[in-house]
Amino acid sequence: MARVAVVTGGTRGIGEAISKALKAAGYKVAANYAGNDEAAQKFKAATDIPVYKWDVSNFEACGAGLKQIESDLGPVDVLVNNAGITRDTMFHRMTAEQWNAVINTNLGSLFNMTRHVIEGMRARKFGRIVNISSINGQKGQMGQVNYSAAKAGEIGFTKALAQEGARSGITVNAICPGYIATEMVKAVPQDVLEKNILPQIPLGRLGEPEEIARCVVFLASDDAGFITGSTLTANGGQYLA
């Protein structure tokens, strides 16, 4: 019987690629999204993957959303915590709202989502949790103190929960993408991309969302059953952790 996989932020960018790749690998996929109804419905029509709308920074909303998914598809076997936002500014200009929005969505969502599925995974003696962190959670990034703090927190969350879940057959791993060719990165002016970003990447190009998705499919598989608490860097050699 096909395993059920939930991908937060699963209808656009890296999340879209992850959702598609998991479906192609035979999973029953549910894609969460926060607010872009047009993009979500376009994704659903193109992929036939069901979409579910809720705010991952809200604990109760996560519980209700996951309860609906389990009613529709079955118990959650694979959770991909991918949803994230940015509110970039230099720290001396950062507001409490900008700090809290990023921390609550990017890091708080890991608790909000995982807490609702972990007991079922423990009871069934199987689970795969994959957290999409960032290169900037490893090396830091000027103008992204909030984002870098949240993404670094995801790595700590991964390492600690991996130790708790191991005896119950639950693996917990993180992936740290570098610069990936999503809409957000492609919106960077071409001259900035060519002069400031690509020279930092030894491979000389942006990553593709599908390359991150293939990492997720592997970590979710039975083949990765002995890998837990790890951080997989996928950044073209830009930062070697």
Name the active-site residue from 27, 33, 52, 147: 147
Whole-number Å distance between alpha carbons of 212 and 59: 27
Is 147 among the catalytic positions? Answer: yes
**Edge-to-edge strands of the sheet including 4-7?**
51-53, 28-33, 4-7, 76-81, 127-132, 170-177, 231-234
**CA 224 centroid distance within chain:** 18
Q: Which one, of 161, 147, 156, 132, lies nearest residue 228 by Cα?
A: 161
Please give the sequence-ordered ranges of beta strands (E in DSSP) within the chain, or none if there are none.
4-7, 28-33, 51-53, 76-81, 127-132, 170-177, 231-234
Name residue 97's amino acid. Answer: E
Q: Which one, of 67, 66, 77, lies nearest residue 31 by Cα?
A: 66
Please identify every residue annotated as catalytic. Answer: 147
